[in-house]
Amino acid sequence: MRALALVGIERFEERQVALSAPAEGDVVIRVGAVGLCGTDFHIYEGHANYCLDESGRPIPIAQSPQILGHELAGTVVDCGRAVNDLRPGDRVVVDQGLNCRSRGEPVLCEYCSSGHSHQCARYAEHGITGLPGGFAEFLTVPAVNAVAIDGQVALEQAALVEPLGCVIHSSEAALRARGRYQFGGPSPIRSVLICGAGPAGLLFTQYLRNVLGYDGLLMVSEPSATRRRLAETFGATAIDPGDVDLVSTVVELTGGERVHYLIESAGVASLFPRIPGLLRKQGTLLLYGHGHRGVDLGVLNNIQFLEPTLVAACGASGGFDDDGRPHTYRQALKLIGAGQIDVGRLVTHRYRTFAELTRAFEADRFAPGFIKGVAVWEP
């Protein structure tokens, strides 16, 4: 099959690669749509590499080329002989993470058994940790990693189930942390700041308003005018940090309190020196963004002085439904299908060929109007 392989830093190459034959519990999926994630960009640039050797050291991309793409949806084309709840022609969302359920382990590890499958003791991930991802024609995965799409959700939108699942997991982790300020608690959260209105920030905005029902002050800091306008339509007060002083503006809008809940979804390290001026003492800080670089670790000193509840969440982790499939992915798919979360308006760029997809990494993602790119291999 054809695939687009990352063969070096900022260097893609189209190749013919072998497709793994399905084991008895596997399905083969024709990849239909793949969302482009910030993690893909970080790996492409050489700022991140999650393909590790047995000692935990990154394996250079030139030594072990990677097929990226972990936000996946497609159509089943073949099933292993033990698969009886999917059949060719079924449209599915793919949980790209391999865990105890994926491997058919008779006893779940402590993470999988407690609803934290993204931290499975033997975790591996298609498109991120070296396993082949969706920048290819086909993908073979365990059937329990494929969630059937009921209804009329387009594959392009279904590809955003994974990032929405990450937002759901992160939000639930922040709620479980039970900091001083809580939604509906004795000291209620009355002000929220989301730093960054990329796809994650815009999903957080909708999740807060439409799923959690939060009706307090919700601010979004974002330099892009296009993204600010969209955040406002989702119910946020948008702030341009290039036009006003972010700290002074937040202090004014909160009546001097500063924010009770700060979501860092931009992955911009230069934000961290400002956090002590943005976050209320003993507020909650959700560290969602990745790719931070260029700032000395000493910036944490004044953040620690606030005694915040720090939450670091990663992936669309969660428990399993009765059929062994990931609950968080089903939850995200249901929210999209019901219209509670609008992912369609986030997609600004579509790519139909590997050559076009390469352009997304080289140029398009820097364009002023870029929010979310999706490779669409089939309708």
In the prediction, which pLDDT does 150 show? 86
What per-residue confidence (pLDDT) applies to 317?
85
Give domain 168-312's CATH superfamily. NAD(P)-binding Rossmann-like Domain (3.40.50.720)
pLDDT at 157: 96
CA 102 to CA 95: how far, in whole Å? Answer: 10
Q: Report yes or no: 375 and 135 within 8 Å, Cβ to Cβ.
A: yes
CA–CA gap between residue 367 and residue 372 (Å, rounded): 11
DSSP annotation of 20 reads P
Determine which helix (DSSP H) or strand (DSSP E) holds 312, and give its type and residue range. strand 309-312
- The full set of domain ranges for the chain reads 2-160+343-376, 168-312
Longest Cα separation, the chain: 64
Across the chain, mean pLDDT equals 94
DSSP string, 133-184: -SSBSEEEEEGGGEEE--SS--HHHHTTHHHHHHHHHHHHHHHHH--SSBTT
Q: Which residue stretches of the chain have pLDDT < 70?
A: 291, 379
Residue 285 belongs to what H/E stretch? strand 279-287
312 CB burial (10 A radius; 0-12, 13-18, 19+): exposed
pLDDT of residue 301: 81
**Residue 253, token pair as written in the block:** 């809008």
Give me 37's structure tokens. Answer: 């994630």
Fold agreement between 2-160+343-376 and 168-312: no
372-376 and 26-35 strand pairing: antiparallel
Question: pTM, whole model, 2 decimals?
Answer: 0.95
Q: Which residues contact 244 (CB under 8 A, 6 or more apart)?
A: none
- Over residues 153-179, the pLDDT tens digits come to 999 999 999 999 999 999 999 999 989
pLDDT of residue 26: 98
* CATH class assigned to 2-160+343-376: alpha beta
Contact 258, 247 (CB under 8 A): no
Task: Report the C-alpha gap between 258 and 211 in whole angstroms.
Answer: 24
d(CA 53, CA 59): 6
**pLDDT at residue 273 in the model:** 86
